[in-house]
Structure 1
Amino acid sequence: MSAKTMLIVAHAPSPNTQRLADAVADGARDDAIEGVDVRLLTPFEAGPDDVMAADGIVLGTTENLGYMSGALKDFFDRTYYAVLEDRQGLPYALYVRAGHDGTGTCRAVETITTGLRWNAVREPLVCRGDWQDDFLGQCRELGTLMAAGLEAGVF
């Protein structure tokens, strides 16, 4: 059986948001999970070929003025039509580093992923308010969930 590919596309403009992206990747690379290759890219590095090669994707963004980061929006702008027909049903998860409530950010991403016909594997993880070290554990769990689901064929 060939390995599955889990793509993480995360905007990480600060050391703490980079820690969140790394935590998702660390969770996905848990020793108990085999057969899943994990790729962590910025939205500017990731493109249609990366999405086409992915069996599942985790999207990470900051909340910017009640919306997703411009970087993640750029990723969607560059990939949307190139993957629209061939990647329907792609399992995905979303995490948001939100200074406020993250509602607009989640709504914006969900609007695009609905158009792509991607399938959310869980409710968005919103890391709200002031920094908490517990955000790292939550992101690690998200990465583990996605990778384990891919490995087991659940997603």
Structure 2
Amino acid sequence: MAKLLIVYHSQTGNTEQLILAAHRGAAKESDCELRLKRAFDADLADLLWCDGVLFGSPENFGYMCGAIKDFFDRTFYPAEPYELNLPYGLLVSAGNDGSGAIREMDRILCGYPMKKALPDLIAKGEIQQAHLQQAEENGEAFATGLCMGIF
């Protein structure tokens, strides 16, 4: 059984809407065990447990949120000896264009090392039904890909 970790932070609820939609989609894959964690509650043990990770972050000042950065700060060096090489996907709720948050998360995740397995989902402005549908599809695709071993 594949194991999918979903790590996120949300202050306004926008990112949480995206993450819960992705979680619903991933839950459609019955052969995938899911673990949903807020960034401040996730740790190295969660990364060692999983086969892939979805990260959700609001865009703050053109960057990822502090909680996701804190997660990276707490796990990056302790994860180094494990050479995780996990697939990942990114979901960002953005007031701007989201590119700075995506760029910096990609840069950090490359060092773990992790490999991007999904196109980025950037929800600009208020969360719309189309954003939620795409997040759900991304969650389902990611979980299915983990179970099939294609990532």
TM, length-normalised to structure 1: 0.93
TM-superposed CA distance for 1:10, in Å, is: 1.0
Shift of 1:83: 1.2
Q: Please point out which of 93, 112, 119 is paired with 2:115.
A: 119
* Partner AA of 1:132 in structure 2: Q
Q: In the aligned structure 1, how far is the partner of 2:34 from the partner of 2:63? A: 27
Report whether the alignment pairs 1:14 with 2:21.
no
Q: Distance in 2 between matches of 1:74 and 1:119?
A: 20
**1:38-117 counterparts in 2 under 5 A?**
38-117=34-113
Distance 1:25 1:57 in 2: 12
Query: Structure 1: which 5+ residue stretches go unaligned?
Result: none
Confirm or deny: 8 A CA contact 1:8 1:40 kept in the other structure. yes
Greater mean deviation of Cα atoms: 49-58 or 76-85: 76-85
More deviation, 16-25/102-111: 16-25
Q: Secondary structure in 1 aligned to 2:82?
A: coil
The CA deviation at 1:87 is 3.9
Q: What is residue 5 of structure 1 aligned with on the other side?
A: 3
Q: CA RMSD in A?
A: 1.1
For residues 111-153 of structure 1, the C-alpha deviation after alignment (integer angstroms, 9 at most, x for no partner) is 1011112010022111112331211111101110110001111
Shift of 1:89: 1.6
SS in 2 for 1:131: coil
TM-aligned CA deviation for residue 13 of structure 1: 1.6
Cα separation, 2, equivalents of 1:113 and 1:123: 15
Between stretches 136-145 and 125-134, larger displacement belongs to 125-134
> How far did residue 12 of structure 1 move?
1.8
Corresponding position of 2:138:
142
Could you tell me the TM-score, scaled by structure 2's length? 0.95
State whether residues 88 and 117 of structure 1, in contact with CA within 8 Å, keep that contact through their aligned partners in structure 2. Answer: yes
User: Over residues 47-68 of structure 1, what are the superposed CA-to-partner deviations in whole Å (9 max), with x where a residue is unaligned?
Assistant: 0000010100000000000000
Count of aligned pairs: 151
Gaps of 5+ in 2: none
Runs ≥4 in structure 1, deviation > 3 angstroms? none
**How far, CA to CA, are the matches of 1:49 and 1:40 in structure 2?**
13
TM superposition shift of 1:21: 1.3
Q: How far is the alpha carbon of 1:77 from its aligned partner?
A: 0.4
Deviates more, 1:125-134 or 1:73-82: 125-134
Mapped to 2, the partners of 1:141 and 1:62 lie a distance apart of 19
